[in-house]
Structure formats: structure tokens, C-alpha cells
């Protein structure tokens, strides 16, 4: 399990909220949202950049990397599930759920988060503004498989969807969600568990994504790329995936 300080979690969550709208997070806007000084934002975003969690475009703002996105999704998922629980189950008023969820999101663990999602019947949006709850990264196609997946937790790997990676970023296929023809097509393309990949291009406006694997280029529609869950580097030593082919390196 990846551990983050509360301040790092707050920054990643705030940047995620801008990036999910297709915007760079500007220093002044982050300062207002987090109620801190602009110099504090500059200092923290530099630290996040040094850790490979964001990239900074001078005079424009910051954007999460694949690693930063994977970490931010963990926090945002907890927050938005907690909002659902507080509103739908406990009956808190809409105007109160955000602040209460902020207090709780830093202390709830991954197992409790998965159990909460199961109890809430896997909600898709949060209650106060209807934003999408980030996808579960457990290897489960539905709630009926969730308990088993929790018992086989991914061992602290950082996972995000292929659609969330940016050009130049690398990762390894962890699993493909679904059992239908789409997942079989993805596997037939060579995107098997353990396969190394690199994103070469991502078309704007939710256009297709081009990736390279074993010196071969593939193009996937954005919806298809959403079903491919990718492990990104988290500063630990990777072990060979048990289902992977002998040579998983794509570069």
C-alpha cells in the first residue's frame, strides 16, 4: 500500500479536480482551493515534480503524471465514496458532506474503502456535484468478485487505467476488466498481464491512444483503454508477473 502524507494527498486531490476537467492546475487557483499561500504551492508542486508525481508547464500550471494520477485516484475515490455514505446512508445534508469526507479520507484504508463500495452497491458518482467516482483498481469485474479480489490485494502496486497515462509514460499491464469480446480483443492485441508498454500518443478530446509493446505500435479507442489497468512505477522493485510472457519489456 502506497503511503502519503495528508498534505501530499490534499495537493494531489486538488490537482486531480482541475485535470479531470481538462485543465492545468494553476498556482493561484491551488492556493485559493487549499487556503495556503502561493509560495507554499510553488514549493510543494516542486516537491511533487521531484517525486515524479506532476509535470509543470511554466506560466500555465501542473498536471499529474501517470504515477501521480494513480495516487490521486486512491484519495479521490475514498473521498467520493465517503460523500455517498455520509449522504445516502447517514443522511447528512449535501452542503456538509464534502468537509466531513475531507476529514475522513486520510484515515480510511484500502480494504475498508472496497468494503464501503460494496455496501453502497458500487456507486458511479458522488452526491454533491455528480462527479465520477474513480474506478476500483481491484482485479474484479463486479461486486460479486470484490471480496475475493480484496483477499488477493495487489500488494501495494500503483494502478491506473491506460487511458490515464500521458505520452512518453510507461507501465505494465496488470489486468483487463471484463470477460467479453472487447477484453479478448485486447488480449489478442498482445496486452496480456505483465506486458510492458509505452504511450506514444494520446489524441485530444478523448480520441484514441497509441502504445508500443515489443517494438509494435497499437492504437486503442479511449473506451477500450479505460478497461486496461496498468501498473506504474512507485519506487519499489517490480517482480515478474506470474501470468506474463518470458520477456515483458517493451523498450
- Model pTM? 0.85
CA separation for the pair 79, 99 (Å, rounded): 10
The domain segmentation of the chain, as residue ranges, is: 1-153, 158-232
246 SS3 class: coil
CATH of domain 158-232: 2.30.30.90
Q: Give tens-digit pLDDT for 190-225.
A: 999 999 999 999 988 789 999 999 889 999 999 999
CA atoms within 13 A on the CB side of 33: 17
Calculate ∠ Cα 205-163-153, nearest 5°.
155
What does the pLDDT average to over 72-96?
96
Q: With respect to CATH, is domain 1-153 assigned 1.10.150.170?
A: no
Q: How high is the pLDDT of residue 245?
A: 43
For the cut 90, the answer to whether the pLDDT of residue 226 exceeds it is: yes
For the cut 50, the answer to whether the pLDDT of residue 243 exceeds it is: no
Amino acid at each position: 500500500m502506497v503511503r502519503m502524507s495528508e498534505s501530499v494527498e490534499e495537493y494531489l486531490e486538488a490537482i486531480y479536480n482541475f485535470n479531470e476537467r481538462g485543465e492545468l492546475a494553476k498556482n493561484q487557483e491551488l492556493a485559493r482551493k487549499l487556503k495556503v499561500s502561493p509560495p507554499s504551492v510553488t514549493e510543494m508542486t516542486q516537491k511533487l515534480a521531484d517525486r515524479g508525481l506532476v509535470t509543470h508547464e511554466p506560466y500555465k500550471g501542473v498536471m499529474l503524471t501517470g504515477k501521480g494520477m494513480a495516487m490521486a485516484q486512491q484519495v479521490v475515490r475514498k473521498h467520493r465514496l465517503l460523500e455517498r455514505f455520509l449522504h445516502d446512508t447517514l443522511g447528512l445534508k449535501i452542503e456538509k458532506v464534502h468537509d466531513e469526507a475531507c476529514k475522513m479520507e486520510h484515515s480510511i484504508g484500502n480494504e475498508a474503502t472496497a468494503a464501503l463500495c460494496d455496501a453502497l452497491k458500487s456507486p458511479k458518482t458522488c452526491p454533491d456535484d455528480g462527479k465520477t467516482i474513480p474506478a476500483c483498481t481491484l482485479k474484479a469485474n463486479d461486486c460479486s468478485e470484490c471480496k475475493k479480489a480484496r483477499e488477493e490485494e495487489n500488494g501495494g502496486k500503483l494502478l491506473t487505467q491506460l487511458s490515464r497515462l500521458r505520452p512518453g509514460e510507461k507501465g505494465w499491464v496488470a489486468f483487463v476488466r471484463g470477460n467479453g469480446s472487447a477484453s479478448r480483443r485486447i488480449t489478442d492485441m498482445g496486452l496480456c498481464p505483465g506486458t510492458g508498454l509505452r504511450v506514444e500518443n494520446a489524441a485530444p478530446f478523448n480520441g484514441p491512444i497509441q502504445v508500443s509493446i515489443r517494438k509494435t505500435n497499437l492504437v486503442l479507442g479511449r473506451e477500450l483503454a479505460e478497461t486496461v489497468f496498468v501498473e506504474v512505477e512507485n519506487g519499489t522493485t517490480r517482480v515478474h508477473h506470474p501470468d506474463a510472457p518470458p520477456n515483458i519489456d517493451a523498450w
